[in-house]
A and B are shown apart, each in its own frame.
Chain A
């Protein structure tokens, strides 16, 4: 079995055919291990959503394969894929995508229900997850009565309901202001660091770079090395992450010079202890 939670080999997607064919994703190799946060960045139209859809078992590739915890997703018969998604993948979307008629708690419970899991322990887990994202008091709110940041936190709790090893997030901060976006990134960060999950984030939010272990640059459907010239790596003393010292938004000016952090969260922790 693979050491990776998520592994894509030669993944390609071509929309249409002949002259009008669009090679949205072309020969992408990608691996995601436990506790790792990988960012996929790139200009719009570069194939990020297409890539994520294929990784999430939602879009059959033209070529190549995807393995989720060692299972060849597209080798499975299509009717077995929903269960694989529900078990092994947590999704976070740019548009939050909560079901509008269900309360926060019912939204969190939904992935469990989809696997036929109902009962007191499920409700306890949903309550714990809402607590984890700081929304215990809003469990009975409908999404329409929650702010964008709160909705996205509910969405993250929902993604965690079945305790999947892999979280896939598409522009999770795209519809949030900077402070709310930061909160979401911190939660995703903690999921990898403390929860051992593999987190893959598609984004073009530069703030996300602070929390990433690796940044993959997608352009014209292919992964490219990002220009490394303007990056100056430093280490976050709290979580040990590599941080671009020039772009870090969280830092303290200490006696030995500037100490940079992956996030305000780590900075707070540093100052606390």
Chain B
């Protein structure tokens, strides 16, 4: 009957293509949502990841950048420098704020850099300089593109007007684009001349970040210290906490729609072939063979749908990042495999409804005209 199941499916090529495409689109929704989520999850911690620090030092009790503020006295900088195993310390001032660009207002992370900083600077540039001077700003290229900024344009931070001198790459995320200024511009805005926010620490070769973080936290009053990995994870968890539910819901919707489509397709096929199934039973087919055939059909439709979804997603990605530069889509293999696994369970689940229908088929129907 497997032979029959396959041939029946392929005999109706139009229907197979249509339903695979529909299933593909539904799975594509799930793939895209997952991809956007994965992309955003990477982007949201891009700064913490890329700033170059092995150890992050911050106000005691703080463990994030996202939804957090940290104030550390500038005297701590030299104290940290004195800890054994520290090779370099740069500090940044940091605050959540708004960037005015023409008509647009962007919610951003404002990062104030010292002119000689090596750690904490933008790590890739689309244009211009990476370190702003007084009265200057470096903004993400995505913001520049969306708000029509170029080198030399003016932007507003609080009551100051700054001139754009650099467009940084990879510093944009939907939740927290990073804008760099001179630390003194930001200090004036914050009115906190003796404070800094985070100390970015580079370890000497041969010193583990974990030991160094422990030593700093132990030695210096009023600060906590985290390895980059811990800091990134803590920030990601915090940032994704709210989004995750929404994403799970949307991806659940995509998967459910896909499941319903597969179920519908196979169900319609079973209904249309009910007579043939009755005939097969009359001729002496064992019911469980028919069930296996229905499962096989369900698996095939789902498999095609999944393949269509992946292919479409890969095709769409360049178009997407061109049309929506603010959205970072990441198709990691684990995501695709996870969705494949999901699709597989979808197929089994979806077969369940038509299978119940098959079980109810009366072989005597073969005689009814």
A: which residues have CB within 8 A of B?
A: 49, 52-53, 56, 58-59, 79, 82-87, 91, 93-95, 97, 99-102, 106, 110-111, 113-115, 142, 158, 170-171, 174
Extra 19 A-B pairs, beta carbons < 8 Å, given A99-B276, A142-B11? A52-B367, A56-B367, A58-B282, A58-B362, A59-B364, A83-B284, A85-B283, A91-B282, A94-B369, A97-B275, A97-B279, A99-B4, A99-B279, A100-B11, A101-B4, A101-B10, A110-B4, A111-B283, A114-B285
B: which residues have CB within 8 A of A?
A: 1, 3-4, 7-8, 10-11, 275-276, 279-287, 289, 362-364, 366-369
Nearest chain A CB to B291 CB, angstrom units: 14
Q: B5 — nearest CB in chain A belongs to which residue?
A: A101
Q: List 23 A-B contacts (CB under 8 A).
A: A53-B367, A56-B282, A56-B367, A58-B362, A58-B363, A58-B366, A82-B284, A83-B284, A91-B282, A93-B279, A93-B367, A97-B275, A99-B8, A99-B276, A100-B8, A101-B8, A101-B10, A106-B7, A110-B280, A111-B283, A113-B3, A114-B280, A174-B369
List of A residues within 8 angstroms of B279 by Cβ? 93, 97, 99
A95 vs B8: C-alpha distance when bound (angstroms): 19
Is there contact, CB below 8 Å, between A102 and B364?
no
List of A residues within 8 angstroms of B286 by Cβ? 79, 82, 114
A83 vs B286: C-alpha distance when bound (angstroms): 8
Q: A99 — nearest CB in chain B belongs to which residue?
A: B276
Nearest chain A CB to B365 CB, angstrom units: 9
Is there contact, CB below 8 Å, between A97 and B11?
no
Nearest chain A CB to B76 CB, angstrom units: 77
Is there contact, CB below 8 Å, between A86 and B283?
yes
List of B residues within 8 angstroms of A102 by Cβ? 3-4, 7
Ranked 9 nearest A-B pairs via Cβ: A86-B284, A101-B7, A101-B8, A101-B11, A53-B364, A58-B364, A85-B284, A82-B284, A97-B279
Contact partner, B367, options A83, A113, A158, A170, Cβ 8 Å? A170
List of B residues within 8 angstroms of A86 by Cβ? 283-284
A53 vs B282: C-alpha distance when bound (angstroms): 9
Is there contact, CB below 8 Å, between B285 and A82?
yes
A158 vs B7: C-alpha distance when bound (angstroms): 18
List of B residues within 8 angstroms of A101 by Cβ? 4, 7-8, 10-11
List of B residues within 8 angstroms of A94 by Cβ? 367, 369
A52 vs B3: C-alpha distance when bound (angstroms): 29
Nearest chain A CB to B136 CB, angstrom units: 71
List of A residues within 8 angstroms of B280 by Cβ? 99, 110, 114
Nearest chain A CB to B280 CB, angstrom units: 7
Is there contact, CB below 8 Å, between A100 and B276?
yes
Nearest chain A CB to B340 CB, angstrom units: 28
Nearest chain B CB to A195 CB, angstrom units: 19
Nearest chain B CB to A127 CB, angstrom units: 18
Contact partner, B283, options A59, A95, A106, A114, Cβ 8 Å? A114
List of B residues within 8 angstroms of A170 by Cβ? 367
Nearest chain B CB to A69 CB, angstrom units: 15
List of B residues within 8 angstroms of A49 by Cβ? 367-368
List of A residues within 8 angstroms of B7 by Cβ? 101-102, 106
A102 vs B273: C-alpha distance when bound (angstroms): 13
A79 vs B284: C-alpha distance when bound (angstroms): 10
Nearest chain B CB to A53 CB, angstrom units: 4
Nearest chain B CB to A16 CB, angstrom units: 16
Is there contact, CB below 8 Å, between A114 and B284?
yes
List of B residues within 8 angstroms of A82 by Cβ? 281, 284-287
Nearest chain A CB to B361 CB, angstrom units: 11
Is there contact, CB below 8 Å, between A115 and B11?
no
A52 vs B284: C-alpha distance when bound (angstroms): 16
| Known contacts A100-B8, A102-B4; A58 and B284 CB within 8 A of each other | no
Interface centre among A87, A101, A114 (most CB of B within 10 A): A101
Nearest chain B CB to A149 CB, angstrom units: 18
| Known contacts A102-B4, A102-B7; A97 and B366 CB within 8 A of each other | yes
List of B residues within 8 angstroms of A87 by Cβ? 284
A117 vs B39: C-alpha distance when bound (angstroms): 54
Is there contact, CB below 8 Å, between B283 and A91?
yes
